[in-house]
């Protein structure tokens, strides 16, 4: 699901809000999460999960085209850890007829 599909879904479910109101609310939420992470803070949404930063140390990598060794700088990367309720809900097999979305089937 893309951001615009998510906004469309919310706007259809919340008929008392306009599309632009939903778009603005989603943007504010995402900007708030990004701003908190940029400030080094952890963001926790109970039952859903938490966003935090993980440190990746610098290392020597290889340019795949030329094979040349390149230095890759140390950096922080965003990390999402799903909450228990989210982990459990995605592993429950649901009847597709009772849901508004399709759950991918196990490829094995």
Q: What is the per-residue pLDDT across 18-72, written as a single tens digit (0 to 9) for each?
A: 999 999 999 999 999 999 999 999 999 998 999 999 999 999 999 999 999 999 9
In-domain check, residue 29: yes
Q: What is the pLDDT of residue 90?
A: 87
In-domain check, residue 73: no
In the numeric block, the tokens 């991918």 are attached to 104
Phi, psi of 69, rounded to the nearest 5 degrees: -75, 135
What is the count of structural domains for the chain? 1
In the numeric block, the tokens 């990598």 are attached to 61
Domain holding 19, by residue range, is: 1-40
The residue that leads in pLDDT, 24 or 92, is 24
Burial class (CB in 10 A: 0-12, 13-18, 19+), 43: middle
pLDDT band of residue 108 (cuts 50, 70, 90) is very low
Burial class (CB in 10 A: 0-12, 13-18, 19+), 86: middle
> What six digits make up the tokens of 3?
């951001």
């Amino acid at each position: 699901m893309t951001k615009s599909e998510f906004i469309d879904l919310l706007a259809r479910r919340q008929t008392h809000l306009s599309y632009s109101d939903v778009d603005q609310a989603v943007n504010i939420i995402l900007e708030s999460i990004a701003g908190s992470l940029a400030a080094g803070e952890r963001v926790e949404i109970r039952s859903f999960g938490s966003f935090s930063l993980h440190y990746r140390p610098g290392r020597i990598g290889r340019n795949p085209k030329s094979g040349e060794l390149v230095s890759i700088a140390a950096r922080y990367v965003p990390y999402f850890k799903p909450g228990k309720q989210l982990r459990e809900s995605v592993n429950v097999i649901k009847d597709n007829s009772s849901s508004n979305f399709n759950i991918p089937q196990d490829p094995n």
